[in-house]
Amino acid sequence: MLRIDDLVVRYGAVEAVNEVSLTVAPGELVALLGANGAGKTTLLRTVSGLVPANTGAITFEGIDLRATKAEAIAAAGIAHVPEGRRIFGGLSVEENLILGATTRGRDADLDEGFARVYELFPVLQERRNQGGWSLSGGQQQMLAIGRALMSRPRLLMLDEPSLGLAPILVRQVLDAVRSICDGGTAMLLVEQNARAALRIADRAVVLDRGRVAREGAADELADDQQMRALYLGA
């Protein structure tokens, strides 16, 4: 579904992403792991068309994303939930969700979208008329994911969805992420909590200073002693 080949992204003289290649298959959840500054966020932003690549190729279902504008990439079926949630605090929960469906045009079935989001996150239905500003951090993250789902993406990219959340909410949010994938949506997940990410992922790719350092099945990496020492704190 998504194919990245020898991708290089520079900020001036700094190579944030250095000859990275990876794939995401339909219905697959791939975790993108690594320390801060490894290039994970830059990679997602490049796929979304927000940051230009210097060299390499990015294709999504045969579409050349390097030659496609950001709004057309979203319309093609890729949704990106950035780090920091970025909901519209002055709008209600439901108004935020409606904005997520804009890439589908005027014929979007909002009721179907609402039903899917509220099934995943019942608290959003309870608070659908409340302002986004009034939600807790965990609820705002649920809203950010729900807003992305309103576009009915075939690939959902999440950047640090567990950041700043209490442990019980981390599990709740990541379990919902796994459920979304099980429903048929492919996912590329950037997550600082490597242990939690490997618990739900099918495969993982580890970046180190912009390069692919490790990759493989999530359960194999979770059991790998070097991986545990470097990223899992054990």
* Tens digits of residue pLDDT in 170-222: 999 999 999 999 999 999 999 988 999 999 999 999 999 999 999 999 999 98
Tell me how many degrees the CA angle 109-188-70 measures, rounded to the nearest 5.
60
Q: Please give the pLDDT value at position 166.
A: 86
Residue 147, CA distances (Å) to 80, 121, 222 in order: 10, 12, 31
Q: Read off the pLDDT of residues 9-60 as tens digits, 9 standing for 90 and up.
A: 999 889 999 999 999 999 999 999 998 889 999 999 999 999 999 999 999 9
The strand order across the sheet containing 29-33 reads 78-81, 155-159, 186-190, 29-33, 203-208, 211-217
Give residue 234's pLDDT band: very low, low, confident or very high (50, 70, 90). Answer: very low
Give residue 231's pLDDT band: very low, low, confident or very high (50, 70, 90). Answer: low
Sole residue written with tokens 């900020």 = 11
In a domain, 162, yes or no: yes
Phi and psi torsions of 84, nearest 5°: 95, 5
> Is 23 in the same domain as 135?
no
> Is 189 in the same domain as 139?
no
Average pLDDT estimate for 54-83: 95
Judge contact between 138 and 165, C-beta under 8 A: yes
The more confidently predicted of residues 204 and 106 is 204
| Last residue in a domain, options 106, 126, 152 | 152
Judge contact between 133 and 100, C-beta under 8 A: no
Number of neighbours of residue 216 by Cβ within 10 angstroms: 14
Q: Please give the pLDDT value at position 83.
A: 85
Give residue 84's pLDDT band: very low, low, confident or very high (50, 70, 90). Answer: confident
> Is 60 in the same domain as 96?
no
* Burial zone of 132 (CB within 10 Å; 0-12 exposed, 13-18 middle, 19+ buried): buried
Which H helix or E strand runs over 41? helix 40-47
Inform me whether the pLDDT recorded for 93 exceeds 80.
yes
Query: pTM for the complete prediction?
Result: 0.91
Q: Please give the pLDDT value at position 230.
A: 67
Buried b (16+ CB within 10 A) or exposed e, 29-57: bbbbbbeeebbbbbbbbbbbbebebeebe
Q: Read off the pLDDT of residues 112-163 as tens digits, 9 standing for 90 and up.
A: 889 999 999 999 999 999 998 888 888 999 999 999 999 999 999 999 998 8
Q: Enumerate residues 6+ apart whose C-beta is below 8 A from 12.
A: none
Q: Which domain holds residue 114?
A: 87-152
C-alpha closest to that of 84 among 25, 41, 114? 41
In a domain, 82, yes or no: no
> Is 71 in the same domain as 159?
yes
Rounded Cα gap, residues 179 and 184, in angstroms: 9
> Is 34 in the same domain as 126?
no
Per the structure, the count of domains in the chain is: 2
> Is 137 in the same domain as 196?
no
Which H helix or E strand runs over 195? helix 194-200
C-alpha closest to that of 196 among 155, 231, 147? 231
C-alpha closest to that of 199 among 229, 173, 225, 230? 173
Q: Please give the pLDDT value at position 233.
A: 53
Which H helix or E strand runs over 211? strand 211-217
